[in-house]
Amino acid sequence: MHSENQTSVSHFILVGLHHPPQLGVPLFLAFLVIYALTVSGNGLIILTVLVDTRLHRPMYWFLCHLSFLDMTISSAIVPKMLAGFLLDSRIISFGGCVIQLFSFHFLGCTECFLYTLMAYDRFLAICKPLHYATIMTRNVCNFLAFGTWLGGTLHSLFQTSFIFRLPFCGPNRVDYFFCGFLALTCFMLILTSYGYIVAAILRIQSVDGRRNAFSTCAAHLTVVIVYYVPCTFIYLRPGSQEPLDGVVAVFYTVITPLLNPIIYTLRNKEMKAALWRLGGRKDVQPH
């Protein structure tokens, strides 16, 4: 375009959820409670793993990283959403939008990498149990976890820098941030890992053995489904339906970080037992 037809963009308008003005305060209170539960629930998971030496294993170290990611990705999105509900403030500066876009993609990409790493950990534990302890050492575990953060940082740096080097000339209304290709790639790797896991479980002779093997994957498989269903909904349906997009975006950025600690608490017997010990109660043996 010719320079005289361009209009520089100094701010953006975050559309967010469509709601009647009278619902602003109730929505603010509801999302404030959800945010508080998200931070406290994931913080409790991290505290439990750090305190209980029985959980000092790769699976639970990765869970600590996941809980920290859930807290930070919620903190990157929810405060601005709360301000929109209470103050009807939907404007974000150009610099603020850069920071929020970078944070969202950085944390979201890191979480995708981490889910893939956790699937690989379960693959090693079930398909190569005799070699698991020698492969997944503490140093390897830390190196792989660091790699997920580094990968998320580099991916977000490239994507954000490329986006904001483009000229912006309106409209300056932003609906939601999503990134599909990376999520799809990680999802295919997770499916591959679980293909091998299922095949290995089916080769186990005893019913109890198959049940115990699957129980070690149940929580991770559940959170992967919860995480990827919104992405699938966004990218596989035709057209755009803004109200539905809003609900999906809220589920992806607000509800999923709340559900993860609940899922790991309900679906993981070792985590439940550790929480009982943390509360000072007698350890309950799983049936």
Residues 226-278: tens digit of each pLDDT: 888 877 776 666 555 566 666 777 787 888 899 888 888 877 888 888 888 88
- pLDDT score recorded for residue 3: 37
Predicted structure pTM score:
0.84
- What's the mean per-residue pLDDT of the chain? 81
**Spatial distance between the Cα atoms of 189 and 74, rounded to a whole number of angstroms:** 25
Report the pLDDT averaged over residues 154-167. Answer: 80
Q: Which pLDDT tens digit goes with each residue over 24-61?
A: 788 889 989 999 999 999 999 999 999 998 999 999 99
Half-sphere exposure of 27 (CA within 13 A, CB side): 21
Q: Which has the higher per-residue pLDDT, 95 or 219?
A: 219
Residue 287 predicted with pLDDT over 50: no
b/e code 112-127 from CB counts within 10 Å (16+ = b): bbbbbbbbbbbbbbbb
Residue 277, class by beta-carbon neighbours within 10 Å (0-12 exposed, 13-18 middle, 19+ buried)?
A: middle
- The band of 1, judged by pLDDT with boundaries at 50, 70 and 90, is very low
Which percentage of the chain shows pLDDT scores above 90?
31
Q: In whole angstroms, how far apart are CA 245 and each of 160, 177, 183, 232, 241?
A: 22, 11, 18, 12, 6
Is omega for the bond preceding 261 within 30 degrees of 0, making it cis? no
pLDDT for 100 equals: 80
Q: 260 and 30 in contact (C-beta within 8 Å)?
A: no
Residue 68 backbone class (left: φ over 0; alpha: ψ -120 to 50; beta: rest): alpha
